[in-house]
Amino acid sequence: MIKPAWITPGFSHALLGAALTVTIGLPCALVGLPSVIGAVFAIGFYVGRERRQSEEHFGSNRIMPWQWKPRAGRDVAWPALSSVVVALLIELAF
């Protein structure tokens, strides 16, 4: 399958972060909890994912387990931004 050019890795991860936020944040908002819980979950998912990837590549590129890989900040920034925006939109809706 050929991927469209407009779906960049940053955009696709931002969509996934937004989807995770809606999946957790919307039910939280419906029962009276803050929807930011969904954003925290999505950001935690991506931070944990980046940490695991840096540990998996320990032998190949000499990244120590306590360090992040060089592009980890970029890979977490877009999902984090989209998660916060979606959580704020859910808060405004309720």
In a 3-state reduction of DSSP, which class is residue 37?
helix
pLDDT over 70 (residue 3):
no
Tell me the CA distances in angstroms from 92 to 8, 16, 29, 69, one per residue in order. Answer: 29, 21, 10, 36
Residue type for 32, please? G
pLDDT over 60 (residue 12):
yes
Q: According to the model, what pLDDT value does residue 30 have? A: 93
Q: pLDDT (tens digit, 9 = 90+) per residue, 39-94?
A: 999 988 887 776 655 555 555 556 565 566 666 666 788 888 999 999 999 999 88
Single pTM value for the model: 0.74
Tokens for 79, please give them: 């999902």
